[in-house]
Amino acid sequence: MRRRMSALDAAFVQLERAEAPQHGSVLFILRRPEGASSRYMAQLAAWMREHPVTAERFNYVLTPGPGRRIRPSWTIRPPEQIDIDYHFRHSALPRPGGELELATLVSRLVTHPIDLDRPPWEIHLIEGLERDRFAILMKMHHAMVDGVSALRMVKSWLSDDPLARYQPPLWAHDVQDKEEPPTPTGQVAPTFGGTVLGAVRTPLAVAGSVSRALVADVGAARDGDQALVSPYTAPRTILNGRVTQRRRMATQRLPLDRVKAIADRTGGTINDAVAIVLGTAMRRYLGELDALPVRPLVAGVVTSLRAMMTEQAAEASGNAISMLFADLATEVDDIAARASRVIASTGAGKEHLLGLEGHAMAYSSLMMAPFVLGSMSGIGHRLPPLQNVALSNVPGTRTSLYHNGAEVEAVHATTIVGSGGALVVTVTSWGDNLCFTVTGCPDTAPHCQRVAVYLTDALDEVEKALTDG
């Protein structure tokens, strides 16, 4: 049985390159149940391995054939044809099993591309984390699912009952969304065009509004005093060079209440406060490398468009994302002034993108076409930078959730690093914390893990500046 891909899902297959694998991952850090036996991990691994692959998406495989990269589609593979021992792997950390050892192992695991001749996912059970904890790493090709959908899948899989046992693994879980489907605010938009040809086929009905949005981009690029930040106007930095396949992943957690307090003081959102703190950390990171540009850094903020799609279209597509652009004002020393610039730019970006409603995907198709073509051809680093650092904020939960009695303490997500964009920061709200994940190519962005380390100092610095001011 075959299942068609949306144009955006197909683009992630077409973008697959040796130096830019198109997969993401979600890392769960769990605490073993109180009183668990010394054989808890072995028993959990054995229990997970008993389950055949039956869940939707986990049984998808790229349809074979000479044109599978040109017009890719999914074939649904029966459980008996899926080798669970390949997709599920059990590892142990070297002692002392701290966050550094975990990040080193995960960096190695996310470096390797996914085998597209098999269902494109892996799940790793990782034991030996200090303080009686362990981890589960879910690695999936981006053609299957975007970050918002992945977190929704995860929340449906986990339980709010600490006493619940015999929960099947993700690949055998019949996922049902616990959240209400988004209310459509317009007609179904054309799906993302992975090529210029797809963009040219934009229906005439939406051409007017899309053209006006593109003209606004050009106007903002010419007028440096506008709050709206246009794509491809970021300064060229070391982060915009050619990447290799190597990846470095680092994690950090910041208290949600402290970040929210910054948002309240500045009149922005929590996402704005995250951008302010990130910009402060990026100033220090690039400054130490003597690589901070004179012009302000630009963050490309990944934005979900699911609220603009019908329920049917949102369900059929693994991905429904676009990008708006935030001025991080990194050339300004005054943090309050920097915060005002960030908030003004994100507000203008939201109005610009989300104001298109059902036409936002068509606009994104045209706006992203140069970046997509550059990534497909491997010359993205030669084009004007789309942005300097990608920032993705994925909503999680404040409710305690469990897997077979083990509480999930934190969730960290990695995503795609490609040519011309060597650093990505993802943020997931979980419990009382914001879980930051910094993923980069260390050959292009040296010591990129320092960004995660500097986030705590940046939070202190922003708090002090706003309080003293």
pLDDT in tens, 371-402: 888 888 888 889 999 999 999 998 889 999 99
C-beta atoms surrounding 427 within 10 Å: 25
Q: Rounded distance, CA 356 to CA 340, Å?
A: 25
| In contact, 352 and 213? CB cutoff 8 Å | yes
DSSP alpha helix (H) spans, 112-185: 147-157
pLDDT of residue 176: 46
Adjacency order of strands within the sheet including 298-304: 248-255, 433-440, 423-430, 389-397, 298-304, 321-327
142 a catalytic residue: yes
Instruction: State whether residue 253 is helix, strand or coil.
Output: strand
Q: Rounded distance, CA 418 to CA 245, Å?
A: 9
Place of tokens 């003081």: 265
Identical fold for domains 2-172 and 196-398+413-468, yes or no, is yes
Q: Rounded distance, CA 461 to CA 455, Å?
A: 10
Superfamily of domain 2-172: Chloramphenicol acetyltransferase-like domain (3.30.559.10)
Sign of CA dihedral 83, 248, 387, 411: positive
3-state secondary structure string, 40-100?
HHHHHHHHHHCCCCCCCCCCEEECCCCCCCCCCEEEECCHHHCCHHHHEEEEECCCCCCHH
Show the tokens assigned to 391. Answer: 């920032």
* pTM, 2 dp: 0.88
Rounded to 5°, angle at Cα 327 from 216 and 249: 125
Query: 333 Cβ partners below 8 Å, 6+ apart?
Result: none
- Residues β-bridged to residue 324: 301
Show the tokens assigned to 39. Answer: 């054989």
pLDDT (tens place) for every residue of the chain, 469 residues total: 888 888 778 888 988 998 999 999 999 999 999 999 999 999 999 999 999 999 989 999 999 988 888 889 999 999 999 999 999 999 999 888 999 999 999 999 999 999 999 999 999 999 999 999 999 999 999 999 877 788 888 889 999 999 999 899 999 987 544 333 333 333 333 333 333 444 444 454 567 778 888 888 888 887 767 899 999 999 999 999 999 999 999 999 999 999 999 999 999 999 999 999 999 999 999 999 999 999 999 999 988 776 655 555 555 555 667 889 999 999 999 999 999 999 999 999 999 888 887 788 788 878 888 888 888 888 888 999 999 999 999 888 999 999 999 999 999 999 899 889 999 999 999 999 999 999 999 999 999 999 999 999 999 999 999 988 6
Q: Which of 98, 126, 132, 96 is nearest to 110 (CA)?
A: 126
Which amino acid is residue 111, in one-letter code?
T
The model's pLDDT over 411-439, given as tens digits with 9 standing for 90+, comes to 999 989 988 999 999 999 999 999 999 99
Which amino acid is residue 433, in one-letter code?
N
Show the tokens assigned to 201. Answer: 């086929």
Q: Rounded distance, CA 177 to CA 192, Å?
A: 24
Show the tokens assigned to 133. Answer: 């904890």
Q: Rounded distance, CA 159 to CA 155, Å?
A: 8
SS3 content of the chain, % helix, strand, coil (to 5): 40, 20, 40
C-beta atoms surrounding 219 within 10 Å: 12
Q: Which of 87, 141, 142, 412 is catalytic?
A: 142
Q: Where are the domains of the chain?
A: 2-172, 196-398+413-468
Fold of 196-398+413-468: Chloramphenicol Acetyltransferase (3.30.559)
